[in-house]
Structures are given as structure tokens and as C-alpha cells.
Amino acid sequence: MTDATGLLARYERMAVIRRTEKAAHDLFLRGLVKGTTHLAAGQEAIAVGASAALRPDDYVFATYRGHHHALARGATPEECLAELMSRATGLCRAKGGSMHLTKAATGMLGSYAIVGSHLPMAVGAAWSARLRGTEQLAVAFFGDGATNIGAFHESLNLAAVWKLPVLFVCENNLYMEYTPIADVTAVPRPAADRAPAHGIPGEVVDGNDVEAVEEAVGRLARRARAGEGPAVLEAETYRHFGHSRADPAAYRPAEEVERWVKHDPLDLARGRLAERGVAEETVTGADERARALVERAVEAARAAEGPDPREALTDVWADGGAAWRT
């Protein structure tokens, strides 16, 4: 358990993510974000709790629903929103977009939009850390839907047989895109139940409880760094929005939505702060800082220039260019 100051910091980071997600949603509705977005509002505790347990030099791999991981791992709301708004100041200079937020300098090695494709990459990053003797950890965050692709099983097996320092953190938000995961998966815990079949411990945690996530990730990370191998952590959570901007999520039963909205990660953390004697105005102050930060980010991102069109033909190769002929 963190102290009150630590919890307040985690709360504020979650509030920044929540505000940024809402801003992304609003900007999309106003036509300022093109393409689509896959918002993680409701799932903030996983990114923030896990990040709090990681070292700054650990590697993180995320999915198309990865805004929260980028923000938790050091990307600013301004960089993220500028990327969504196709600005030159975006995290990936407007070449990535919502589904590919990457900040390599802080170990956020990317968001990958082919479901589950990044799991083997995290295994490889953990292998690299082993080879270089750095005791770095690699963490792959993925959704429940990814547990049914082949690369999930190939990754778990390879990580287990090589005893690599990698954590597989499943954000189980109950839906594989539009379909309940339970309808397409034969075991109730799609990630944790399958881990033992690969010789890996599989744990379940309340993914909306930032402290519980931090504790579990911290414990499994220490174990992995000590050479005891990978682990699977299944964090149960819920997304406030649909799968993507095209999805109003009408398929979700009202009582289910109500139950989960009552179990909101920010509310949960706010209650804990009150229990620990943190004054309400202190928490409100954190909310206010988050609001102001994201408002400034929106304005700065909106004011930024678009990319130089010539950049369409850069960054294919290491020399910066795209020439396929000599």
C-alpha cells in the first residue's frame, strides 16, 4: 500500500488520463480528430498502478487502446492530443495516430493495432534485457480478445521456457470488441486460466484498484527480475466508452454498466484518500491541476502546425528516407 501522498499522485495521474480521454472524445465529435479512437476511460488504474511499480527503464508495449499507457509512461497530454489531431508536434510526428502512440525515450515502445501482435515483441525485449544483463522488465498490456490468438500462446510458451523477465497484463474489460469475451472463450478467466498450461502463474486482480494493481505488478516484477520467469496478471476492468468511436456499446446491459460505473477507479481512489485523512480540497486541487493541464494541452495542440507534407517520404529506412532503389 502506498502512503497518502503516493496515492494522491496516482489519483492525479489517473485524473489526467480521464481528462485527456474526454478531450479526445470531444475533439473527435468536433471533427478535430480523424480516423478513430479507442478510449480507455475506466481502465486508468491498470496503466497507472503498473507504471508506479515499474522502473523508469522498463519496457512497455500496448495496444490500439493505449492512450492511458502512453500517458502513464511519460507522454504528455499535449503530445498525445497533438498526435490525434495530426500535428507536427505529435508523439509520432503525426505518422502514428491514436492507435500507435509511442514514446521510446521513456520505454513506451509502442501501441500495436494488430490484436496481440506485440506480445512476442515484449518477449523479445525481455530476452534482450537478459542478454544485456540489465534486469529490465518488459510488460505487454493487452485486452481479453488477444488471448485467443496464436501469438498469445506462442509468447507465453517461449517466455516460460526461456524464463524471461516479462509480464503479460491482460486488461479484461469483458468485451472482445463488440462481443462478450465469455461467448467466445471456453474458460472464465481468458488470460489467468490459461497461464498455468504454459507453466506460468496466472493471477487475477481488481483492475480498477490502482493500489491492488501496483502491488500485484510490483510483486510479479520482483519475481521476474530475480530470474523466476514470466507471469500473467489478469486485471478486471470496464471501459466507459464503446470499443471505438463507431460503437455506442448498446449491447451492454444497463445493470452491468451501472455496476461498473459505481466501481470507477477514480472514485475508488478518492474514497481511499478520504479514508486516509486527505482533505477533500486537496483532492479537488489535484482534479483542478489535471483539468488545467489538459485544457492547456488541447489549446497548444490545436495551435500547433500540421506536418510538413514532405515527411510522408521519410522514416522508412534508417537513413531517414524511403528510396527503394539505389
Partner 1 sequence: MADVITYREAVAEGIAREMRRDASVVCLGEDIGAAGGVFKTTTGLLTEFGPERVWDTPISEQAIVGAAMGAAMTGMRPVAEIMFSDFLACCWDYLANEIPKVRYMTGGQVTVPLVVRTANGGGLGFGAQHSQATENWALTVPGLKIAAPATPADVIGMMAAAIRSEDPVVFFEHKALLATKGPPPPPGHVVELGRAAVVREGADVTLVALASMVPLALKAADVLSGEGIEAEVVDLRCLVPLDAATVLASLRGTSRLVTVEENPYQGGWGATVVSIVADEGFGLLDAPVRRVAGECVPLPFADALEEQVIPTVEKVVAAVRSLAAY
C-beta separation of 140 from 152 below 8 A:
no
For residues 153 and 263, which CB has a smaller minimum distance to partner 1 in the complex? Answer: 153
In the bound state with partner 1, the residue whose beta carbon lies nearer, of 71 and 290, is 71
Choice between 103 and 272, CB closer to partner 1: 103
Query: CB 85 → partner 1: shortest distance, Å?
Result: 15
Q: Burial, 69: exposed, middle or buried (Cβ in 10 Å; 0-12, 13-18, 19+)?
A: buried
CA-based nearest residue to 49, from 86, 94, 107, 6: 6
CB of 242 to partner 1, least distance (A): 24
How many CB atoms neighbour CB 253 within 10 A?
8
CB of 65 to partner 1, least distance (A): 16
Q: Shortest distance, CB of residue 60 to partner 1, whole angstroms?
A: 12
Q: How many CA atoms lie within 13 A of 238 on its CB side?
A: 15
Give CA–CA dist 262/208, Å, rounded.
11
- Rounded least distance, CB 289 to partner 1, Å: 28
Least separation in angstroms between residue 217's CB and partner 1 is 19
Nearest approach, Cβ of residue 229 and partner 1 (Å)? 15
User: Residues interacting with partner 1, by CB under 8 A?
Assistant: 59, 61, 90-97, 100, 102-105, 109-110, 112, 114, 117-129, 131-132, 138, 150-151, 154-155, 157-158, 161-162, 314-318, 320, 322-326
Q: Which is nearer to partner 1, 128 or 148 (CB)?
A: 128
The set of cell numbers assigned to 315 is 522514416
Region for residue 133 given its phi and psi (left: phi exceeds 0; alpha: psi -120 to 50; beta: otherwise): left
Name which of 90 and 143 has its Cβ closer to partner 1: 90
φ and ψ at residue 238, rounded to 5 degrees: -155, 140
Nearer to partner 1, 89 or 237 (CB): 89
Residue 304: count of CB within 10 angstroms of its CB? 18
Taking alpha carbons only, the member of 99, 75, 97 closest to residue 87 is: 97
For partner 1, give the closer residue by CB, 119 or 278: 119
What do you get for the CA distance between the two ends of the chain, in Å? 59
**Do 165 and 138 form a contact (C-beta atoms < 8 A)?**
yes
